[in-house]
Amino acid sequence: MNVQQNQLSRFFINSMGLLMILSAVALTILSMDGWQPNIQENDYTVALIALEVVFSLMILIALSKAGASMSVLMIIATVFTAWFVSAYALLSQGFYANADIPQLTFVFGVTIPVVVGFLAKQLWTPLKNAVDAMSTKSILLLQFMRAAFGVMFFFTTALPVWFQYTGGLGDIAAGFGAFLGLYYLYKNPNNERQAIIRGNSIGILDFIVVLSSGTLIVMRDHAPDFMFLLIPLYVVPLFILLHIFSLQRLVKLNQQNIDKNAH
């Protein structure tokens, strides 16, 4: 049974990786030929909300598999819901467009959830235990979802074309990086450290480029209140936290390796 499950897992990873690559190539070719997305804003919002709900459920499932109790999951689900509804409501009311310094307000909107999530993991023992128990495989599978959100860049006309390529293909590449890390882990189950490095490097670099260019350039020239911003205001902090938790695990593995060599 374990052999069959392992084969199915590899088949799934290979299939998703191939689909991601083909999607990126197809979107690039279509965009170069002058293709423009033909999707209504309301339909785009519904699709984006559905994708973010699925991603949130994936996180809850991963935490559940890591041993989080039902009460902990309910608290996290409540926080997710309140956070998402608040972000949606603020965008609907034109909060960021009416701010005196929308770029700074936006930065706070991204960084505050990261800080709160990090502190919650450090100070709330049940959450810390669940996150620490999550396998690198689970974290990389969650990071793999970056590719799906990268595709969403190409279905909104609210972004400059250059930023669609930078952000969209960057997220798809980050998802592909997570795929490479996951595939490496299957091939080399005893080298978790290298899998973490391979799975996180592209994603971290992409966030540095996209968040800085998006804040300093895109938000300077374009009205910031459109539903696409549900991605940076809700999903991006979650992905950043996954990178942070991965790096914490890497530090722990490095320390274990040092202690092992010392003995």
> Residues 128-159: pLDDT tens digits?
999 999 999 999 999 999 999 998 888 887 78
Return the SS3 of 62.
helix
The vertex-210 CA angle with 204 and 213, nearest 5°, equals: 135
pLDDT given at position 212: 85
Helix axes 125-133, 70-92, angle to 10 degrees: 100
pLDDT score at 37: 52
Residue 64 and residue 111: Cα distance in Å, rounded?
Answer: 26
Residue 8 has a pLDDT of 47
CA distance 9 to 31: 33
| Degrees to nearest 5, angle at CA 175 with 173 and 179 | 110
- Low-confidence residues of the chain: pLDDT under 70: 1-41, 221-225, 259, 262-263
Contact partners, residue 156, CB within 8 Å, separation at least 6: 37, 44, 164, 226, 228
SS3 content of the chain, % helix, strand, coil (to 5): 85, 0, 15
Model-level pTM?
0.84
Helix (H) or strand (E) holding 163: helix 161-163
**Length of the chain (residues):** 263
Q: How far apart are CA 241 and CA 56, in angstroms?
A: 13
How far is the C-alpha of 138 from the C-alpha of 122, rounded, in Å?
20
Of 186, 182, 67, 203, the C-alpha closest to 132 is 67
Closest CA to 109 of 259, 232, 228, 224: 232
* pLDDT computed for residue 1 by the predictor: 42
Domain boundaries, the chain: 2-262
- Specify whether the CB–CB gap between 159 and 229 falls below 8 A: no
Q: In this predicted structure, what is the pLDDT of residue 10?
A: 54
Count of Cβ atoms closer than 10 Å to residue 78 Cβ? 10
